[in-house]
Amino acid sequence: MPKVLVVSNCPSDNTTKLQNAVVKGCAHEDIAQCKVRARIPWDANADDVLWCDGIILGTTENFGYMSGAIKDFLERVYYPCLELTEGKPVALFVKGGLDGQGAKTSVERILVGLKWKFIQPPLVMKGEFQPAFLRQCETLGTTMAAGLEAGIY
Ligand SMILES: Cc1cc2nc3c(=O)[nH]c(=O)nc-3n(C[C@H](O)[C@H](O)[C@H](O)COP(=O)(O)O)c2cc1C
């Protein structure tokens, strides 16, 4: 039974929809009984990271960087998790206004330090909000949950 932690900042309706789509994807009917814990970053901590088999991070791009909320989360979990979570499967989705690369690379840098293992390249969504973003996020959730269930990650 895979356990997935979804931690993403949701400052807007669009970003809340993205988080919900990821959670929906994790709970795909073809995956036996995936347990999903969805948190906003301020409410998530190292115990949540240790609990899960895989983690999906989501952030907006703010000022060319990850959101302050996700940065705070990563700062709080970094040292408590460092020795315990090497190889943790991770996926990242980024919601930018016009860009998103700064948020992507800033998270990637920290995850290199944590030695978490990306299951796929980060999903970067930018420009006008599109229904395709929801499908992509749903697929991301399903990919993580199905891969964990199958023992691929
Ligand atoms: C303070 C602030 C800084 C932002 N900086 C960037 C930025 O550097 N690059 C970018 O692509 N979008 C930037 N944005 C846009 C946010 O990424 C965007 O509002 C967020 O993804 C939510 O998307 P939505 O407006 O579709 O709900 C910024 C937004 C805020 C509030």
Please write the tens of the pLDDT for every residue from 15-74.
999 999 999 999 999 898 899 999 999 999 999 999 999 999 999 999 999 999 999 999
**Cα(133) to centroid of ligand 1, in Å?**
16
Whole-model pTM? 0.98
128-150 pLDDT, tens digit each: 999 999 999 999 999 999 999 99
Strands (E) in the chain, as ranges, are 3-8, 35-39, 54-62, 65-66, 89-95, 117-118, 123-125
The total domain count for the chain is 1
What the block records as the tokens of 47 is 């115990």
Query: How far apart are the CA of 78 and the centre of ligand 1, in A?
Result: 25
Show the DSSP H helices in 27-128 as ranges: 46-51, 68-82, 101-114
Asked if pLDDT for residue 92 goes beyond 90, the answer is: yes
The answer to whether the beta carbons of residues 111 and 90 sit under 8 Å apart is yes
- Report which of 78, 84, 64, 62 is spatially closest to residue 111, judged by C-alpha positions: 78
Q: Whose CA is nearest to atom 28 of ligand 1?
A: 62
Enclosing domain of residue 136: 3-149
Residue nearest to atom 6 of ligand 1 (CA): 62
